[in-house]
């Protein structure tokens, strides 16, 4: 059977798994202010709407916990295939929803699939991609999420203005099955992860996969040989250790990595992205927008999100993970405090906003436009920094033996905080209004110090070389000065190969 070998094509199709997450985000955020949806489901109050929105995150939490176990037993590729089928089932259940309970059930099922794809797509791509471009390849996962958000939002907008009655949201939710089907079919043409194959002692297949991905099938290429040796050593170490449980992720030599992987996903949520993504319609309604103007203003925000991440991806392996995380947390901290100050000083409490009793604060005129402008700025900064980098960093920090379960646990952390915030933000806008932004500003302040003092630099290193970074006593803010061991070994091999060819010797393959 034909096998796709171009890493960018693999990333383009593989990250449809990320797009599934984006589809589910917009499938709800686009409807929360639409009469067709609120009338059919009994005008859910802020607490109930928070629960409906958060139900997908609850399923994703469970899915990401199970994802590591599934990917270790069946392989990365088959885990993603199963998830794509589950996603299709979830789309069908949502499409046929007759009441809130039915809808929540569909979102939980879809969440199970997203929990697997959001964690194991990162694992799969990080294990395939060359170290020098791993950031941009894994970062495509986040870009795909944003494409999914925008595409589904535009589909929802078309259904709102062009279809009447419940058929509007049923069509919108049913269309979600299409990318799941595309992902399922494309995975038949994907190679399995070479590192998973090696962990199963399928050495020839692992070497062949490394060769077709990194050197057009040349098993003798120095890059292939050096990386294969590193994989062999990682597998040897993994086999010497005991079977991995989730508790083992907090054992000696691993707990620091686990805390980095889990906390970077936690902070990505506590940065405040949920405010911008799930409840953007609420923000614009408080600023005085109504009807189609609100929907189009929300679409502009999603475009900004998409463009900024797309602009960053070609450069993400040059800037460094720490720099992006620190720049993002500091800038977003300032933005949150500014929005809170403007809303507090220029806004006023009201019984409802345009009949929406979930909103009890309004801010109109130039002050409202200021809030919208800084909401756009926040989205741009988030798209440039934390949105792609958190997924990349979590996929890099774990050694082979722990990677699938470690990234699964990290994604579970993302989803449990996603669940909490998706549920929290709607009641927060109702009860504490502008103080919501103060809370997110404080989170940004704390994460800045945490990242600076606890996160080693991982950019440009092979996954096995990152193991050495964590094993050194070098302070995290000095780890960028550690030499490029992988690159130096490749150069040594090239020089050795040139000398042996000059001397008439043949290159001996290392297997």
Comparing CA positions, the residue from 149, 92, 21, 422 lying closest to residue 157 is 149
CB 467 within 8 A of CB 234: yes
Q: pLDDT per residue over 5-42, tens digit each?
A: 888 899 989 889 889 988 877 888 778 778 899 899 98
Q: Does some domain include residue 507?
A: no
Q: Does some domain include residue 467?
A: yes
Environment class of 501 (CB within 10 Å of its CB; exposed 0-12, middle 13-18, buried 19+): exposed
Q: Does some domain include residue 468?
A: yes
CB 130 within 8 A of CB 78: no
167 and 197 in a single domain? The answer is: no
166 and 200 in a single domain? The answer is: no
285 and 357 in a single domain? The answer is: yes
196 and 184 in a single domain? The answer is: no
Model pTM above 0.75: yes
Query: What does 78-120 look like in DSSP terms, one character per residue?
Result: HHHHHHHHHHHHHHHHHHT--SHHHHHHHHHHHHHHHHHHHHH
Helix (H, G, I), strand (E, B) or coil at 40: helix
User: Residue 332 belongs to a domain with what CATH number?
Assistant: 1.20.1250.20
| Overall number of domains in the chain | 3
157 and 225 in a single domain? The answer is: no
**Of 218, 240, 262, the domain-final residue:** 240
d(CA 407, CA 303): 28
Q: What is the pLDDT of residue 133?
A: 83
Q: Does some domain include residue 51?
A: yes
Q: What is the pLDDT of residue 444?
A: 97
183 and 198 in a single domain? The answer is: no
Q: What is the pLDDT of residue 510?
A: 43
Low-confidence ranges of the chain (pLDDT < 70): 237-238, 240-244, 274-275, 278, 291, 483-511
Range of the domain at 120: 1-190
Q: Does some domain include residue 509?
A: no
Q: What is the pLDDT of residue 506?
A: 45
186 and 198 in a single domain? The answer is: no
229 and 341 in a single domain? The answer is: no
254 and 311 in a single domain? The answer is: yes
Q: What is the pLDDT of residue 161?
A: 86
180 and 196 in a single domain? The answer is: no
135 and 1 in a single domain? The answer is: yes
d(CA 196, CA 203): 10
Joined together, the tokens standing for residue 486 give: 């992988």
268 and 204 in a single domain? The answer is: no
Q: Does some domain include residue 156?
A: yes
Q: Does some domain include residue 510?
A: no
Q: What is the pLDDT of residue 188?
A: 94
Joined together, the tokens standing for residue 242 give: 């005991």
Q: Does some domain include residue 206?
A: yes
Residues contacting 52, CB < 8 A, separation 6+: 28, 41, 44, 100, 103, 104, 107
DSSP-H helix ranges across 269-320? 274-277, 280-286, 291-312, 316-319
């Amino acid at each position: 059977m034909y096998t796709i070998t171009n890493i960018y094509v693999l990333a383009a199709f593989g990250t449809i798994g990320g797009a599934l997450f984006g589809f589910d985000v917009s499938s709800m955020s686009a409807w929360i202010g639409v009469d067709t949806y609120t009338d059919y489901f009994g005008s859910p109050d802020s607490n109930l709407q928070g629960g409906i929105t958060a139900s997908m995150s609850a399923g994703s939490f469970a899915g990401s916990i199970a994802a590591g176990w599934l990917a270790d037993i069946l392989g990365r590729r088959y885990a993603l295939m199963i998830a794509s089928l589950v996603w299709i089932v979830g789309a069908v259940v949502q499409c046929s929803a007759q009441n809130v309970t039915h809808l929540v059930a569909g979102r939980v099922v879809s969440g199970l699939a997203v929990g697997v794809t959001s964690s194991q797509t990162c694992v799969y791509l990080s294990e395939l991609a060359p170290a020098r471009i791993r950031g941009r390849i894994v970062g495509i996962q986040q870009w795909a999420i944003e494409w999914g958000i925008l595409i589904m939002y535009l589909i929802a907008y078309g259904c709102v203005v062009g279809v009447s009655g419940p058929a509007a949201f049923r069509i919108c939710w049913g269309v979600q099955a299409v990318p799941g089907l595309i992902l399922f079919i494309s995975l038949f043409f994907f190679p399995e992860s070479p590192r998973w194959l090696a962990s199963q002692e399928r050495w020839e297949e692992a070497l062949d996969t490394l060769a077709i991905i990194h050197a057009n099938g040349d098993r003798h290429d120095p890059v292939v040989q050096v990386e294969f040796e590193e994989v062999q050593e990682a597998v040897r170490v993994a086999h010497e250790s005991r079977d991995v449980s989730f508790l083992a992720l907090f054992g000696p030599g691993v707990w620091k990595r686990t805390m980095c992987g889990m906390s970077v996903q936690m902070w990505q949520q506590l940065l405040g992205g949920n405010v911008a993504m799930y409840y953007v319609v609420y923000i614009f309604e408080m600023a005085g927008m109504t009807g189609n103007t609100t929907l189009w203003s929300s679409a502009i925000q999603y475009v900004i999100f998409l463009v900024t991440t797309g602009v960053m991806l070609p450069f993400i392996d040059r800037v460094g993970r720490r720099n992006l995380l620190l720049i993002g947390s500091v800038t977003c901290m300032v933005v949150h405090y500014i929005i809170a100050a403007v809303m507090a000083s220029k806004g006023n409490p009201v019984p409802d906003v345009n009949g929406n009793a979930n909103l009890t604060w309004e801010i109109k005129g130039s002050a409202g436009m200021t809030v919208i402008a800084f909401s756009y700025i926040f989205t741009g900064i988030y798209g440039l920094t934390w949105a792609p980098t958190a997924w990349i960093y979590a996929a890099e920090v774990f050694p082979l033996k722990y990677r699938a379960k470690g990234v699964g646990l990290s994604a579970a952390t993302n989803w449990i905080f996603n669940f909490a915030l998706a549920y929290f933000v709607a009641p927060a806008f109702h009860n504490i209004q502008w103080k919501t932004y103060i809370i997110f500003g404080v989170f940004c302040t704390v994460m800045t110090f945490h990242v600076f003092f606890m996160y080693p630099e991982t950019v440009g290193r092979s996954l096995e070389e990152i193991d050495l970074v964590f094993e050194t006593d070098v302070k995290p803010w000095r780890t960028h000065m550690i030499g490029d061991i992988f690159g130096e070994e490749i150069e040594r091999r090239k020089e050795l190969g040139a000398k042996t060819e000059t001397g008439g010797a043949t290159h001996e393959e290392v297997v």
